[in-house]
Amino acid sequence: MKNNAADSRFSIKFNDEELITEILIQRGFMLTYKLEKQDAFTANNIYLATDGIKTAYICVDNKLEDATVDYFMVHTDTKFICIERALDSTKKFNLKKKMENKFIAF
């Protein structure tokens, strides 16, 4: 019989909104930031965050899909934040190389 307690430690669920807030605050956004879901993205849940000074796209999905990566590989004029565990090493390398300091894997 499997130990459910041991299994559950590997599948911790985060509240997306709380995780986004924590990431944005650590990236220097003010608490008064606004978050708007970007429906044009269909492969991942992408949000546009702005506090009047800073603006960035953010995604906290567990996997960053190829279509999303492809978009940001072309649109390098905006900041993009995602969680590091959503990326394989190739996606991370390619985004970092193409977007430079506008890409943040958290």
Answer yes or no: are the C-beta atoms of 76 and 101 closer than 8 Å.
no
User: Would you say residue 5 lies in a domain?
Assistant: no
Report if residue 8 sits inside a domain. no
Q: Residue 14 has which token pair?
A: 């985060």
Total domains in the chain come to: 1
Provide the pLDDT confidence category of residue 6 given band limits of 50, 70 and 90.
very low
Q: What percent of the chain has pLDDT over 90?
A: 83
In a domain, 3, yes or no: no
Q: Is the pLDDT of residue 1 over 60?
A: no
- How far is 63 from 85, CA to CA, in rounded Å? 7
pLDDT attached to residue 7? 45
The verdict on residue 92 lying in a domain is yes
Domain that holds residue 33: 15-105
pLDDT tens digit string along 8-58? 444 445 689 999 999 999 999 999 999 999 999 999 999 999 999 999 999
Contacts of 53 (CB under 8 A, 6+ apart): 30
What is the pTM assigned to this prediction? Answer: 0.85
Query: Is the residue at 53 inside a domain?
Result: yes
> Has residue 10 been placed in a domain?
no
